[in-house]
Amino acid sequence: MNMTTSSPHADSTTQMRDYLPVPEAAFGPALNEQGYYVGRVERNLFWVTDGTYQSAFLATPDGVVLFDAPPTIGHNLRRAVDEVAAAEGIGNTVTHLVYSHHHADHAGAANLFGDDIVRIGHAETRRLLLRDNDATRPAPEVTFEDHYTLRVGGERVELAYHGPNHSPDNIYIHFPDHDAIMLIDIVNSGWVPIYNLNLSEDVPGYINAPDQAMSYPWKHFIGGHLGRLGTRDDLVLHQQYIGDIIDSSNAALGSIDPTPYFVKYGANAWAGVAGYLDAVTARAAAPVIAKYAGLLAAADIPAFTTSTTFAILQSIRLDQGAGSQVHP
């Protein structure tokens, strides 16, 4: 019907679809007039959000240790640190910066804190940042392979690498004396992952990461995105969502016969592949979208759950070898 009423000059917003209201529980605290919120996690560990991205810092008597520097928060990181330092009666000098991983959307404001700081990250983060050669993300000089204990101002932070997941270099940042863990781009507390399991490179690693995080003791989860901190319950709900996609994908793989697609498209083999995989993906995603709509924010954005389902389906086929048939 819209075809007959639209014109080439129609506003593009007429194409925008509507979504369910975001569940109230998905939102965090209100932002201030500069567009950020800074709050205490526990004791002298603080977190900062602009509603979409998250960062954290430890305010110690010997200096401030910053964990990630998302460019969307940008200069508000400085304001948040200054605000807390003034309130706590300590210095506001950022002495250390820890990279969770090399991605620009979490690290692209790293250069705002000058060259006179100690930058720490995984060895792979250094390699990738040297490769990317982006002046906003100077490569860390202090690197580690498996574990690194950071001690500043009487505080202890445990950095650990447990293999690739969202990115090849993504680390676990545990604050044992603050009952908190920071693990970026795996679980969006209260929300579904965006496209392709949060744009993840290693699907089995991504799927396993919340289990790995749950093996640490903590109460507060800093996930890097959206407007609030997470809890262990948020990780459980995320795992249920992913688990349901895995179950649904296996069921769809077993229930759709590829033969008609290859018969129809004949010599155009890729058309057969596309028809079959699109059908399996759609069947696998549909019940998950229906189940989590209203429970996890953005579950009703079809492209998110559908592309995540596609990525998981391909991992089931390619990493696990499900459905492989050897020619007789």
The answer to whether 210 and 169 are in contact (CB under 8 A) is no
Cβ closest to Zn ion, residue 104 vs residue 152: 104
Cβ closest to Zn ion, residue 130 vs residue 269: 130
Tell the smallest beta-carbon distance from residue 307 to Zn ion (Å).
16
Tell the smallest beta-carbon distance from residue 152 to Zn ion (Å).
25
Q: Is 119 in the site for Zn ion (CB under 5 A)?
A: no
Where in 98-117 is the site for Zn ion (CB under 5 A)? Answer: 103
Cβ closest to Zn ion, residue 50 vs residue 185: 185
Tell the smallest beta-carbon distance from residue 164 to Zn ion (Å).
12
Tell the smallest beta-carbon distance from residue 206 to Zn ion (Å).
11
Give the per-residue SS3 of the chain. Answer: CHHHHCCCCCCHHHHCCCCCCCCHHHCCCCCCCCCCEEEEEECCEEEEECCCEEEEEEEECCEEEEECCCCCCCCHHHHHHHHHHHHHCCCCCEEEEECCCCCHHHHCCHHHHCCCCEEEEEHHHHHHHHHHCCCCCCCCCEEECCEEEEEECCEEEEEECCCCCCCCCCCEEEECCCCEEECCCCCCCCECCCHHHHHCCCHHHHHHHHHHHHCCCCCEEECCECCCCECHHHHHHHHHHHHHHHHHHHHHHHHCCCHHHHHHHCCCHHHHHHHHHHHHHHHHHHHHHHHHECCEECCCCHHHHHHHHHHHHHHHHHCCCCCCCCCC
Q: Whose CB is nearest to Zn ion?
A: 103
Cβ closest to Zn ion, residue 185 vs residue 202: 185
Where in 210-229 is the site for Zn ion (CB under 5 A)? Answer: none
Tell the smallest beta-carbon distance from residue 128 to Zn ion (Å).
11
Where in 151-190 is the site for Zn ion (CB under 5 A)? Answer: 185
Binding span for Zn ion by CB under 5 A among 65-73, 97-105, 262-270, 300-308: 97-105
Binding characters for Zn ion, 233-252, by CB under 5 A (x = yes): --------------------
Count of residues of this chain found to bind Zn ion when the rule CB under 5 A is applied: 2
Tell the smallest beta-carbon distance from residue 199 to Zn ion (Å).
7
Residues 6+ apart with CB under 8 A from 29: 37, 39, 227, 228
Cβ closest to Zn ion, residue 159 vs residue 280: 159
Cβ closest to Zn ion, residue 185 vs residue 234: 185
First to last CA, the chain: 51
Cβ closest to Zn ion, residue 103 vs residue 228: 103
Q: 322 exposed, middle or buried (CB, 10 Å; 0-12, 13-18, 19+)?
A: middle
Tell the smallest beta-carbon distance from residue 53 to Zn ion (Å).
11
Tell the smallest beta-carbon distance from residue 104 to Zn ion (Å).
9
Tell the smallest beta-carbon distance from residue 55 to Zn ion (Å).
13
Alpha-carbon distance of 223 to 232, in angstroms, equals: 12
Cβ closest to Zn ion, residue 102 vs residue 178: 102
Cβ closest to Zn ion, residue 168 vs residue 176: 168
Q: Which residues form the interface with Zn ion (CB under 5 A)?
A: 103, 185
